[in-house]
Chains A and B, each alone.
Chain A
Amino acid sequence: MSTAIELRGLRREYGERAALDRVDLGLAPGESLLVLGPNGAGKTTLLRILATLLRPSGGEVRVLGASLPGEAWKVRGRIGLLGHEALLYRDLSGRENLRFHARLHGIGREAAEVRIAELLAAVGMTQRGDDRVAELSAGMQQRVAICRCVLHEPELLLLDEPDSNLDAEGRDLARALIGPADGRTRVLVTHDPERALDDVDRALVLGRNGRIVRACRAAELDPDEARSAIAGAAR
């Protein structure tokens, strides 16, 4: 497998409006990509297409060697998505939610318990792991959501504003699980390029028309340029 993600002329329309238009991209296994852009530039749409949750309107999409949407079944379970929603049931505890997801991903009971305990400890949630999600703060819910995202050890991480609601300690703990150190392929969407640019290999700026405004190595884009690119793309 030469590329983890390959997009050619990707297009996605909502009615008559194009959320993504002629997006081309190649990302090698283990590489990290930062996606920047103003609100409505199609960043979340891009992540949902890569996660197999949304069908493209046109173009070619290959993720982890599978052509989407036709071969989506081949890559489900190899992708971890951390989106705007925590994807946690509010009336179950964090631990119960993680057990549920472990079973959906075919992880055996004993292995799941060990993995869940490790992950909850890693995000500082061991003490609150048995509390109902509805009783947790937004930051704590995000910590459990990060555990859910990596529970099944995915090869590809799709992260939409992963730091949202996290305090400084939470961000540091999360970085250990979903940061660049583990060598997974990552696509990261954030409005805060300052911290993210140090953690990624490549950057992609999308405009409000859903087209690529700039694609470059992350090192070629400093935070001020990134902000300018976002502001420019918004016009």
Chain B
Amino acid sequence: MTSSRLAFAAILGKDLRVELRTLQSLPAMALFAVTTFVIFRFGLDRTNLSGDLAAGVLWVTLLFAAILGINRLFVAERGEGGFDAIRLAPIDRTALFAAKATALLVYMVVLELIVVPVFALFFLDSAAALAPLALVLVLADLGLAATGTLISSMAVNSRARDLLAPLVLLPLAVPLSIAATGAIEPLLALGGPGYHRFGSWLAVLGLYDLIFLLVGYAVFEFLLED
């Protein structure tokens, strides 16, 4: 049997190469997020956001942008027979889950490197919160990558996959959203970053990540069955 590490590297490398070559997911995600910030800026008629409103605008925008990437995560596997090719190979199928979740994590991190500075430019007075914000976002991205990969692998065989992924994912992402906005809110408080219950929310995010990574590891093999 091929080692899981090699299989993981092969699948992740293939996904990133295809994305670099075709730019099918990331530009759409970034454009969506920036456009949403512009809409919020004019819709709310505010040039400055703080606290829970800032956290909500940032997280909801990132979550909806992530859905664009999640919907496309298994498109090539479904449309070009990649599922069969991978199922024919002597590999642990969880390598596919790990590689897809990592690809989604990379997309989210790159997306945030592009759009969080835009968010700060539009709505924040200072960039002091960006460093701790990065920690929150990476933990939230990890959870989103795990749930998104699971949901996408289930939805990809459905004719209504574009609808199914967000409809199933969004309820599952409620605890993640509560924890993410809970952690972001004090960071973006008026008057500078605060750390009230910051550690607790990070712990909730970590727990969410752990649970969905373990669930993915446990059930992904069965999701690939024909």
Contacts and interface: CB of A to CB of B under 8 A. Distances in A.
A123 to B, nearest CB: 18
A85 B91 CA distance: 21
Contacts of A76: 87-91
A92 B16 CA distance: 11
Contacts of A91: 18, 21-22, 76
A104 B2 contact: yes
Given A103-B6, A103-B7, A88 B89 contact: no
A231 interface: no
Interface stretch (B77-85, B136-144, B146-154, B197-205): B77-85
B87 A52 contact: yes
Given A53-B226, A103-B9, A73 B87 contact: no
Secondary structure at the A interface, as helix, strand, loop or mixed, is loop
Contacts of B18: 89, 91-92
A161 to B, nearest CB: 15
B218 interface: no
Interface in B82-126: 82, 84-91
B17 A96 contact: yes
Contact of A79 (B2, B21, B88, B91): B88
Contact of A51 (B76, B88, B91): B88
Given A89-B18, A89-B82, A92-B14, A53 B89 contact: no
A101 B1 CA distance: 14
Contact of A52 (B2, B85, B88): B88
A90 B90 contact: no
B84 A53 contact: yes
Interface string A24-40: 00000000000000000
Q: Which of B1, B18, B85 has the most CB of A within 10 A?
A: B85
A55 B225 contact: yes
Contacts of A100: 10, 14
Interface in A72-97: 73, 76-77, 79, 81, 83, 85-92, 96
A9 interface: no
Q: 10 smallest A-B Cβ distances: which pairs?
A: A77-B90, A106-B2, A103-B10, A104-B89, A85-B81, A87-B81, A87-B85, A76-B90, A91-B18, A54-B226
